[in-house]
Amino acid sequence: MGDIKFLQGNEACALGAVRAGLRFFGGYPITPSSEIAEQCARLLPQAGGRFIQMEDEIASIASIIGGSLAGAKSMTATSGPGFSLMQEALGYGIMAEIPFVVINVMRGGPSTGHPTGPSQGDIMQARWGTHGDHPVIALYPESVPETYYEIIRAFNLSERFRQPVVFLMDEILGKMNESVEIRDDIEIIPRKKITGEPSQYAPYAIKDDVPQTANYGEGLRFHVTGLFHDETGFPDVSGENIQKSIDRMFRKIAMHEDEVAKWEETGASEPDVLLVSVGIQARSAKMACKELNREGISAGVFRPVTVWPFPEKRLAELARKARKVLIIEMNKGQLADECRKFISGDKIVALNQLNSEMISPEEIMSTVKGVL
């Protein structure tokens, strides 16, 4: 057993990141994420890393892309308005296949919205916020301990696939405290060491769908661009190359979904009523589920931890056997809309609330009873 620490969600996020090997943080203050930057400012110079507060969120994400290319595991943290500003560079990271992590501690939007209130309104921004077609990995923990371990998994996935990873947190989670057991046995995927003959080196030579890109300044000189490029890293905007590149980027994640996907199932194993919820809201759903089970109602909870790619195969299986699928979100139904792609519409019940409070277990229970 490891040490037990009583941590705030944002603090656990920073500690987990440093444990995962974070060595460079560039960020800009924004509620409710600022403690992540503050912790990184404190921790990184102790850990052989560096911290910088940039002039805005665009500069922040640009700086961490640079930091990552130079070999330092890098991250930034923000909230909705800052996440909107970061979208163009997030797309750059996806296109140029650069590992880094972007944390979005979500607050009420649109616009300045409600800086100190919770909302799950950025689930779709995480998926489609940047322009163009692109794959996305986004993780979404429900508790402080899970934040600690999932941020480590975010870095690992990012290194494994050379893909930016979006890390969604609820405002409530960022600001709440819980106990975290800091285990010793954690797998950390280091930055891959790339060697080769400098004159022959191709930074975007693909192996198992993932480019073999070195760090800058380690003896292999190469070019990186946000334009479509060939395996040498130089622009190639032929239709053939564009199609091939996008197909391969999607395949990179889709073909390895078993390594990326993660969800939790609780309650009845083949429930009549399936409750679908993510992040902090899922804890309320789980509480409702327990109570419903006690009353003899066949209910279960499906909670995606990897929210993108959405674990639709397993959810579709469960939904087929269920009479109703109740999708519980603090937004206008972003996941419910996603579920309508593969779950029959008459089964779906969307329970949504945007009043800066979580949807209570009681409300979930009464909704379940009303639709059965």
Partner 1 sequence: MFDYAKYLRMDKLPHIWCYGCGNGIILKGAVRAIDRMNWDKDSVMAVSGIGCSSRATGYVDFNSLHTLHGRAIPFATGIKMAKPELNVIVFTGDGDATAIGGNHFIHAARRNIDLTVVLFNNNIYGMTGGQYSPTTPQGYFASTAPYGHIDPSFDIVQLAMGSGATFVARSTVANPREMEKFIHEGLKNKGFSLIEVVSNCHERFGKRNKMKSPYEMIEWIRSRAVSKAKAETMEPEELEGKIVTGIFRQETRPEYVETYDRLVVQKAGGGN
Which residues contribute to the site for partner 1 (CB under 8 A)? 23-24, 26, 42, 44-52, 54-56, 58-60, 62-72, 74, 88-89, 92, 215-219, 221-227, 234-235
How many CB atoms are closer than 10 A to CB 56? 12
Closest CB to partner 1 among residues 29, 113: 29
Give the closest residue to 139 by CA, choosing from 166, 117, 115: 166
Q: Min. distance of Cβ 236 from partner 1 in angstroms?
A: 12
Collapsing DSSP states into helix, strand and coil, what is residue 92? helix
Q: How far apart are CA 87 and CA 224, in angstroms?
A: 19
Q: Min. distance of Cβ 324 from partner 1 in angstroms?
A: 46
Give the closest residue to 57 by CA, choosing from 39, 32, 38, 83: 83
Which string of b and e fits 174-184 if b means at least 16 CB within 10 Å?
bbeebebebee
Q: How far apart are CA 348 and CA 316, in angstroms?
A: 12
Closest CB to partner 1 among residues 49, 109: 49
Closest CB to partner 1 among residues 177, 195: 195
Q: Min. distance of Cβ 86 from partner 1 in angstroms?
A: 11
Please write down the HEC assignment for all residues of 140-178. CCCCHHHHHHHHHHHHHHHHHHCCCEEEEEEHHHHHCEE
Q: How far apart are CA 292 and CA 279, in angstroms?
A: 20
Q: Min. distance of Cβ 43 from partner 1 in angstroms?
A: 8
Q: Min. distance of Cβ 321 from partner 1 in angstroms?
A: 47
Query: Are residues 372 and 297 in contact, defined by beta-carbon separation less than 8 angstroms?
Result: yes
Q: Scanning the structure block, which residue is given the tokens 């419910």? A: 336
Q: Min. distance of Cβ 232 from partner 1 in angstroms?
A: 9
Closest CB to partner 1 among residues 23, 107: 23
Closest CB to partner 1 among residues 21, 118: 21
* β-strands 306-308, 137-139 pairing: antiparallel
Q: Min. distance of Cβ 24 from partner 1 in angstroms?
A: 5
Query: Are residues 290 and 118 in contact, defined by beta-carbon separation less than 8 angstroms?
Result: no
Q: Min. distance of Cβ 152 from partner 1 in angstroms?
A: 20
Closest CB to partner 1 among residues 72, 275: 72
Residue 347 burial (10 A CB sphere; 0-12, 13-18, 19+): middle
Closest CB to partner 1 among residues 50, 248: 50
Q: How far apart are CA 84 and CA 89, in angstroms?
A: 10
Closest CB to partner 1 among residues 113, 226: 226
Q: Is the dihedral of CA 352, 357, 359, 362 positive or negative?
A: negative
Closest CB to partner 1 among residues 67, 121: 67
Q: Min. distance of Cβ 81 from partner 1 in angstroms?
A: 16
